[in-house]
Amino acid sequence: MRIAYITQSYPPMISGASIVVEQLAKGMAERGHQALVIAASDKNHPYVATQNDLTIQRLRSMHHPLRVGQRFLVYPRASILKALEKFQPDIIHSHEPILCWIGFEYAQRHFIPTTFTVHMLPWYVTAVLTDRGGLDKAVEKAGWKYLDILARKSTSVIITTKTVSDIVTGMGIDSETIPCGIDTRKFHPPLSDGETASTRRRLNLPLDVPIILYVGRLDPEKMVARVIHAAAEVMKSSPAHLLIVGDGKEKEKLISLAKALGIQARVHFTGYILMNDGLPDVYRAANIFVMASEVESQGLVLLEAAASGLPLAAFEATSIPEVVHDGENGYLVKPGDVHAMAGAIARILESPALAKRMGEESRCLAEHYDLERAQLLHEQYYRKLIGQQALEKRENPSLWRRVKMWMGLGK
C-alpha cells in the first residue's frame, strides 16, 4: 500500500497527534508499505527527509502563537496537492481538521478512500474558554456541526477510545474505534536501582526521595496548577519532589506558583524531553504519575506511565478511566478536587507494597495497547477501506468514468 498522512505537527514538534502519526508512518514503512507524511516544517524552510520507505515532506510554516515549540501550515493547498500527486497514495489518513479538506479534494479526484482520526472533541477546544455569554456553548455546537460535515466528507472516521466513540456515536456520527499504541519495549519498568539512580543524577534529582511525575504540555487546559497544589499538600508530610516534564504558555506562571507555595526547591521543570533524549528513563525514575487534565481523547502519557510500571492518579473525566482503573492501578478522584488528589498521591507514596501492586497492574493494562497491535489494526483497516473503494469502482463504472472525465483523463 501507499499511505499518505496529513498532519500539522510531527516530531521533533511534540503533540499527541504528532506522536501517533510518527508511530503509524514508521510502523507502516517497517511493514513494507510506502508512507508519506505531509507536515509543517520544524525549521525556517521546507525540506524533504527520507527513511527507507518513509518520506517526510516538510512544508513552509509559521510559528504557532498559542503553542510553545510548535509551527503550523497556513492552508498550503497547492503544496499538499503537488506532494500527493507525486506520491500517488492508495489511501489518505488525516490527523488535522483543516488540512484534511485538501486530502478530501485529492481523494475525490482519484477515487481513493480517506480516513480521519479525531484527536480532539469540540468541548475539548472550549475547555480553555469561560462562559462568556454562552460563547463556549456556541463554539461547541459549531464544532460538532463541523465534525459531522468532516465525517460525511471522509470515507471513515477513526476514534481512539470507546468512551469518545460512544460520545461521537451519540451525536449521530459513525466511526471505527482503533486505539493508539504504546511501545512497551521502550517504556518498561526499571531494570535495576542503578538505572534509576543514574537518571536521577542526570536530572539533578535526590536519590532517596519519592518522585511525583507529570509529563505533558503546560497549557491552560492541562490544569497543571492542580498538580502543583496537590503536590504541595503531599509535601507537608512527605519528602517527595515533583518533576514536571514539558513546556507551554503557562510555564512561568507555574514556576511562580511553586515559589508562592514555598516548594520551588522541590519542583523541577525540565522542558520537553524527547524519546531519543531519554524520556522512557524519566518515567522509570519516578514513583507515581499524576494527571490533572479533564479533556483527554486517550492520554498517551498515561499509557507511557502505565507501561513504565507506575501507579497513576488522575481525575475521573473523559476517557481517563479506560487507563486508570480506580483502586487497581491507581486512583481516580472527583474532577477538580485537589485535596482528594493529594490524598490519592499520599496513599500510594506511603505504601510501597500498594505502589508495587498498582505498578504491576499498570504494566499489565499497557500491554493491551501494544504498538504492534495498534499498527496491525490500522493496516487491516486501510486494506478494508481500499478494498471497499475498489469494489464500488467496479460496481459503479459510470461513476468512475465521470470522475476520469472531470479530471481530464479521457473516457
Domain locations along the chain: 2-117+371-407, 193-368
For the cut 60, the answer to whether the pLDDT of residue 22 exceeds it is yes
Question: Which pLDDT band, with edges at 50, 70 and 90, does 410 fall under?
Answer: very low
Mean pLDDT to the nearest integer, 355-374: 96
pLDDT single digits (tens) 54-69: 999 999 998 888 778 7
Separation of alpha carbons 13 and 70, rounded Å: 6
pLDDT single digits (tens) 151-201: 999 999 999 999 999 999 999 999 999 999 999 999 999 878 788 899 999
Proportion of the chain above pLDDT 90, given as a percent: 77
The CATH fold of domain 2-117+371-407: Rossmann fold (3.40.50)
Between 17 and 326, where is the model more confident? 326
Kindly state the cell numbers that stand for 313. Answer: 492518579
- Amino acid letter at 193? D
- Which pLDDT does position 403 carry in this prediction? 54
User: For the chain, percent helix, then strand, then coil, each to nearest 5?
Assistant: 50, 20, 35
Q: pTM for the complete prediction?
A: 0.90
Between 241 and 400, where is the model more confident? 241
- Which pLDDT does position 139 carry in this prediction? 82
- Which pLDDT does position 326 carry in this prediction? 97
Mean pLDDT to the nearest integer, 345-366: 97
For the cut 70, the answer to whether the pLDDT of residue 130 exceeds it is no
- Look at residue 262 and give its three-state secondary structure: coil
| Farthest-apart Cα atoms in the chain, separation | 79
Question: Which pLDDT band, with edges at 50, 70 and 90, does 75 fall under?
Answer: confident
Question: Which pLDDT band, with edges at 50, 70 and 90, does 411 fall under?
Answer: very low
- Which pLDDT does position 261 carry in this prediction? 97
- Which pLDDT does position 93 carry in this prediction? 98
Length of the chain: 411
Angle between helices 100-110 and 135-153 (to 10 degrees): 20
Q: Which helix (H) or strand (E) holds 98?
A: none
Proportion of the chain above pLDDT 70, given as a percent: 94
CA 212 to chain centre: 21
User: Which of these CATH numbers, 3.40.50.2000, 3.30.365.10, 3.30.1360.40, 3.40.50.150, describes 193-368?
Assistant: 3.40.50.2000
- Which pLDDT does position 132 carry in this prediction? 54
Is 191:185 a contact under the CB 8 Å cutoff? no
Question: Which pLDDT band, with edges at 50, 70 and 90, does 393 fall under?
Answer: confident
Beta bridge partners of 214: 244
- Which pLDDT does position 225 carry in this prediction? 97
Separation of alpha carbons 263 and 265, rounded Å: 5
Closest CA to 302 of 289, 317, 316: 289
Mean pLDDT to the nearest integer, 339-365: 97
- Which pLDDT does position 129 carry in this prediction? 57
**Taking the CB of residue 215, how many other CB atoms lie within 10 A of it?**
23
- Beta-carbon contacts of 321 under 8 Å, excluding residues fewer than 6 positions away, are 163, 332
pLDDT single digits (tens) 211-269: 999 999 999 889 999 999 999 999 999 999 999 999 999 999 999 999 999 999 999 99
Is 213:290 a contact under the CB 8 Å cutoff? yes
Is 32:25 a contact under the CB 8 Å cutoff? no
Separation of alpha carbons 181 and 72, rounded Å: 25
Cis peptide before 335 (omega within 30 of 0): no
Which segments of 248-322 are extended strands (E)?
Answer: 267-271, 288-291, 312-315
- Which pLDDT does position 205 carry in this prediction? 95
Question: Which pLDDT band, with edges at 50, 70 and 90, does 398 fall under?
Answer: low
Kindly state the cell numbers that stand for 48. Answer: 524533504
**Taking the CB of residue 247, how many other CB atoms lie within 10 A of it?**
19
Residue 99 is given by DSSP the state T
Q: End-to-end CA distance of the chain: give it in Å, rounded.
A: 26
Is 315:294 a contact under the CB 8 Å cutoff? yes
Q: Do domains 2-117+371-407 and 193-368 have the same CATH topology?
A: yes
Q: What average pLDDT is seen over the chain?
A: 91
- Which pLDDT does position 349 carry in this prediction? 97
CA 277 to chain centre: 19
pLDDT single digits (tens) 280-321: 999 999 999 999 998 887 789 999 999 999 999 999 998 999
